[in-house]
Amino acid sequence: MSTHITFNPDEMLQIVAPDGSCHESLDPDLDATALRRLYRGMLLTRTVDIRGMILQRQGRIGFYVPSTGEEASQVGSAFALGPSDWIVAAYREPGAAYLRGLSVESFFHQTAGSGKDLLKGRQMPSHFGAKSANFVPASSPVGTQIPIATGVAWAAKIRKDPMVTLVYFGDGSTSQGDFHTGLNFAGVYRVPIVFFCKNNQWAISCPFAKQTASGCVAVKALSYGFEGVRVDGNDILAVYVATKRAVDNARAGEGPTLIESFTYRVGPHSTSDDPRRYRDDAEVARWREKDPILRYRNYLERKGLWSAEDQESLQAELDQEVDDAIESALASPPPDMETLFTDVYEIPTWNLREQLEQAMQKVGQ
C-alpha cells in the first residue's frame, strides 16, 4: 500500500466499486487470510444484527441498536489498529468490538444484562465494551466520548506510550460542543488520535443537511490544524487504507486525523425508533443497493477468493455461533445483588458494607 496518498476533503476515497472492480493502484494488497477475515467480520455483524432485532421484537431483550449498512466502516477501521491501540466507542460499532476480540457471547450477555455481563448489568443494552479488547464502553449522551478519547490520547503522549486512540461518533455528534472541544485540543497538542465520524446521514430524525452549512464533515478538520479525509464508508478497503494511514501518522507523532466515513443507517436508530416517520422508502432502497457486504463479496469473487460454497459454509458457522451465544445469555441468571456495591472502592467502606448487608436481608439472602 502506498504511504504517499494525498487526500482532499472535498473528494471521496473509493477503492472498490459496487460491482467489485478495484482501483488497482490503491489496493492495499492484503493477503487472502486478512481479506477473508474482513469479510467474516462484516457478515458476523450483519448476522448478529438480524437476530438482535428479532429478539427485541419478540420481547426477549429490552432494547437493541442496529448497525446494518455500516459494517464496512466499523470493521475496516478497526482492522487498521495495532494490538495495544484503544477504541473509544459510540454505540453502533459491534463489528469493531468483535474484531478486537469481544465474543458474540459476551455481546449478548451484555445485551441481556445477565450475570455473565462483563459490565455487570450497569449499562444499557448494546452499550458493550471490554478492557481485554481495549474497547471503552459507549455512553448514550451524544458526543461525550470525543473529549474523553482526546484525553486518553493526550495521556499516551505524556507517557510516551506509542498507542493510538480511535474514537467513533456519528454525524449528529458534530453538532455538539464536545466535538469542537475535543478536536481543538487534539489539534493544539498534536495528540495521537483518529477521529472517525460515521456520517450515516441521520442524527436520529435530523438529516445531515440540517446540521451544518459545511459541504462535508472532513473539511472541519482544517479549522483545527490537521488533515480531514472523506472516504466511501461502504468500501471496506478504502476505509482500511484511510484509517491505516491516519493511525500510522498518529503513531509517528504527526498528530490527529478526522475521517468522515460516508455511509448510511439502513435500519432504525434503535428499536425505539420508527424511521418511516421521517424518511421515505425510496431513499433506503437506493442505499440498500450499495450494500457494503455485497460489494466486498463481489471483490473477493473477482479475485477468486470466494464462492457460493464458501458463503453457505460461513453463514452456517456464524448462525450456529450466534445461536449458541443467545442460548447462553438468555439462560443465565441476572447479576448477583453484591455487584450493586462492588467497584466503587477497592476496599469497600463501612457504609457500603452496611448497605450491602441491608440489601441482602431485604431479598432474603
| Intra-chain end-to-end CA distance of the chain, in Å | 61
- Determine the pLDDT at residue 7: 61
- What is the per-residue pLDDT across 250-276, written as a single tens digit (0 to 9) for each? 999 999 999 999 999 999 999 999 999
The grid cell for 301 is 469473487
Interior CA angle at 143 toward 68 and 15, to 5°? 45
| Residue keyed to cell 476480540 | 101
- Residue 6 clears pLDDT 60, i.e. is over it: no
Q: Are 251 and 190 in contact (CB under 8 A)?
A: no
Q: Considering the entire predicted model, what is its pTM?
A: 0.94
- Determine the pLDDT at residue 4: 46
Compute the chain's Rg from CA coordinates.
21
Report CA dihedral (268, 274, 278, 282) to the nearest 10 degrees. Answer: 60
Cα 107 to chain centroid distance, Å, stands at 13
Indicate which residue of 230, 265, 295, 297 is catalytic: 265
What is d(CA 66, CA 245) in angstroms, rounded to the nearest whole number? 28
Interior CA angle at 237 toward 192 and 74, to 5°? 60
What is d(CA 315, CA 43) in angstroms, rounded to the nearest whole number? 8
Q: Is 23 a catalytic residue?
A: no
Enter the CATH code of domain 24-334.
3.40.50.970
| Residue keyed to cell 476533503 | 9
Interior CA angle at 46 toward 123 and 86, to 5°? 50
- Determine the pLDDT at residue 1: 39
- Enumerate the domain spans of the chain: 24-334, 335-365
Could you give the 3-state DSSP secondary structure of residue 271? coil
Q: Is 345 a catalytic residue?
A: no
Identity at 90, one-letter amino acid code: A
Crossing angle (nearest 10°) for helices 292-302 and 32-57: 150
- Determine the pLDDT at residue 139: 85
What is d(CA 17, CA 234) in angstroms, rounded to the nearest whole number? 10
What is d(CA 91, CA 211) in angstroms, rounded to the nearest whole number? 20
Residue (of 109, 45, 121, 90) closest to 336 by Cα position:
121
Indicate which residue of 46, 269, 295, 297 is catalytic: 269
- What is the per-residue pLDDT across 275-313, written as a single tens digit (0 to 9) for each? 999 999 999 999 999 999 999 999 999 999 999 999 999
Report the mean per-residue pLDDT for the chain. Answer: 95
Spell out a b/e string for 109-128, using b for 16 or more CB atoms within 10 Å of the CB, else e.
bbbbbbebbbbbbebbbbbb
- Determine the pLDDT at residue 2: 38
Indicate which residue of 278, 286, 288, 353 is catalytic: 278
Burial class (CB in 10 A: 0-12, 13-18, 19+), 253: exposed
Q: Is 288 a catalytic residue?
A: no
- Determine the pLDDT at residue 344: 86
- Determine the pLDDT at residue 3: 41
- Residue 11 clears pLDDT 90, i.e. is over it: no
- Determine the pLDDT at residue 365: 60
Q: Mean pLDDT, to the nearest integer, of 315-335?
A: 97
